[in-house]
Structure 1
Amino acid sequence: MEQLQDTSAEEPVLSATTVFASLAELREAPGYSPKAIAERLTKSLGTDAAAPLLGVSVELLDRWTSGQDAPNAEGRLRLADLDALIGHLHSAFTPAQAMLWMCSPNVQLGSRPIDVYRTLGSAPVIGAIRDHAQEAFR
């Protein structure tokens, strides 16, 4: 039987300057602006659902979405956090499955994922989504 050779090359080394220069450009990229993220979230969740998850009023989210107002640093972080969560949900579940998963008790999280998100942010919920997706492939 023929043995496969390890042909994996070493990972290229990225300097911190390269990474941070790329991040600076990304901030101005159309898909990553606060307005674009707000639009994506309102299209995905609806304004009435997205606003409370972001901790803002529907009116303020509407202003962010229309570009009439820009979020402060905390608002930008909340947008990014919820956007990351929604992206992971879309990659692992259908919309109906995502709603059921987010609103059902989760043993790993010790609570419903929606409640964990509201208190701790997206990181533990995204970890649970990844674990769930990995279980599906075992």
Structure 2
Amino acid sequence: MEQPQDASAEEPVVSATTVFASLSELRDAPGYSPKAIAERLINSLGKDAVAPLLGISVDLLDRWASGQDAPNADGRLRLADLDALVGHLHGAFTPAQAMVWMCSPNVQLGSRPIDVYRTRGSAPVIGAIRTRAQGAFG
């Protein structure tokens, strides 16, 4: 596992113009399209898990994954949020471990991570995954 860099180490300076110019091209990048993200989530979790986590029907998820329909801005954010969570889960756990961890009470979160994700989004759950990876919590 890669260790975090020393906070006192000097980081390269990146201009906001460079970052935002790159982001403007990202929306059309093949791996970041709503279609690609929906396909990736379906391949990771299955339609019957992804649709309720996104708060949509399996039919709508199928249309997003096939490119027949495109999500609105809120749908794109929900796709990105779940995609980020799944990426962190894949990085920290085996699939079996991820399932147990997501469905078990978590002291840091005060609830099961799956319930926290449903009510508050991925940010607190990703934070707990990072804390666990650093060895502070089980």
Q: Aligned partner of 2:105: which letter?
A: P
* Cα gap change, 1:103 to 1:18, in 2 (>3 Å): same
* CA distance, structure 1, for counterparts of residue 125 and residue 48 of structure 2: 21
Residue 18 of structure 2 aligns to a residue in which SS?
Answer: helix
**Could you tell me which residue of structure 1 aligns to residue 4 of structure 2?**
none
1:38-86 C-alpha deviation (Å, 9 max, x unpaired): 0000000000100000000000000000000000000000000000000
Q: Aligned partner of 1:68: which letter?
A: Q
* CA distance, structure 2, for counterparts of residue 11 and residue 112 of structure 1: 36
* CA distance, structure 2, for counterparts of residue 44 and residue 116 of structure 1: 20
Residue 135 of structure 2 aligns to a residue in which SS?
Answer: helix
Cα offset, 1:12, TM superposition: 2.4
Residue 76 of structure 2 aligns to a residue in which SS?
Answer: helix
Gaps of 5+ in 1: 1-7
Gaps of 5+ in 2: 1-7
**Could you tell me which residue of structure 1 aligns to residue 18 of structure 2?**
18
Number of aligned positions between the proteins: 129
**Could you tell me which residue of structure 2 aligns to residue 85 of structure 1?**
85
Cα offset, 1:9, TM superposition: 7.6
Q: Where do 1:65-80 residues align within 5 Å?
A: 65-80=65-80
1:76-113 C-alpha deviation (Å, 9 max, x unpaired): 00000000000000000000000000000000000000
* CA distance, structure 2, for counterparts of residue 59 and residue 131 of structure 1: 36
Provide the alpha-carbon RMSD of the alignment.
1.3
Q: Aligned partner of 1:55: which letter?
A: G
Cα offset, 1:11, TM superposition: 2.6
TM-score, L = length of structure 2: 0.90
Cα offset, 1:27, TM superposition: 1.3
* Cα gap change, 1:75 to 1:110, in 2 (>3 Å): same
Q: Where do 1:96-115 residues align within 5 Å?
A: 96-115=96-115
* CA distance, structure 2, for counterparts of residue 135 and residue 9 of structure 1: 23
* CA distance, structure 1, for counterparts of residue 13 and residue 113 of structure 2: 36
* Cα gap change, 1:133 to 1:9, in 2 (>3 Å): closer
Larger radius of gyration: 1
* CA distance, structure 1, for counterparts of residue 135 and residue 18 of structure 2: 35
